[in-house]
Amino acid sequence: MTGPTPTTTTGAVGLRADRERGPVLGALMLATSLVALDATILATAATTIARELGAFAQVPWLFSGYTLAQAVTVPIYGRLADVLGRKRVMLAGVALFVAGSVLCAVAWSMPALIVFRVVQGLGAGAILPMSMTIVSDIYTLAERAKTQGYLASVWAIASVAGPTLGGVFSQFVSWRWIFWINLPLGLVAGVLLWRKFRDPERDGAREPIDYVGAVLLTGGSALLVGGLLEGSEIGWSAPVIVGAFSAAVVLLSAFVVWARRARYPIVDLRVLRRRVVATSTTASFMVGVIVLGLSTYVPIFAQGVLGVGPLVAGFALAALTLGWPLTASFSGRVYLRIGFRSTGLIGAGLVILGSTLTLLLGEDSQVWHISAFVFVIGCGMGLTAVPTLIAAQTSAAWAERGAVTGTNMFARSLGSAVGVAVFGAVVNANTTVGPDGTPAGPGLAGAVHLVFWCAVATAVLMLLAVALMPRVGRPES
SS3 420: helix
Dist CA 351 CA 379 (whole Å) = 8
Max Cα distance, the chain (Å): 67
pLDDT score at 83: 81
> What pLDDT score does 56 carry?
61
The phi, psi pair for 264, rounded to 5°, reads -130, 75
pLDDT in the model for residue 33: 86
- For 147, 169, 188, 416, the CA distances from 28, given in Å and listed in that order, are 11, 25, 10, 24
For 439-447, which contacts have Cβ atoms below 8 Å and span 24 or more sequence positions? 439/300, 439/304, 440/304, 444/300, 444/301, 444/304, 444/305, 445/301, 445/305, 445/362, 445/363
Locate the DSSP E strands across 87-237.
none
Query: Rounded CA gap, 36 and 124, in Å?
Result: 10
> What integer pLDDT is reported at residue 456 of this predicted model?
94
What secondary structure does DSSP assign to 456-475, as a single string?
A: HHHHHHHHHHHHTS-S----
Q: Is the pTM of this model over 0.85?
A: no
Closest-CA residue to 428 (of 300, 242, 241, 243): 300
The dihedral built from the CA positions of residue 226, 281, 293 and 367, taken in this order, carries a sign that is negative
Element (H, E) at 433: strand 432-433
How far apart are alpha carbons 386 and 84 in whole angstroms?
Answer: 26
Low-confidence ranges of the chain (pLDDT < 70): 1-19, 40, 43-44, 47, 55-60, 145, 156, 159-160, 163, 201-206, 232-233, 310-311, 314, 432-442, 472-477
Taking the C-alpha atoms of residue 181 and residue 178, their distance in angstroms, rounded to an integer, is 6
CA–CA distance from 413 to each of 32, 263, 275, 328, 333 (Å)?
A: 17, 27, 21, 19, 27
**Other CB atoms closer than 10 Å to residue 129's CB: what's the count?**
30
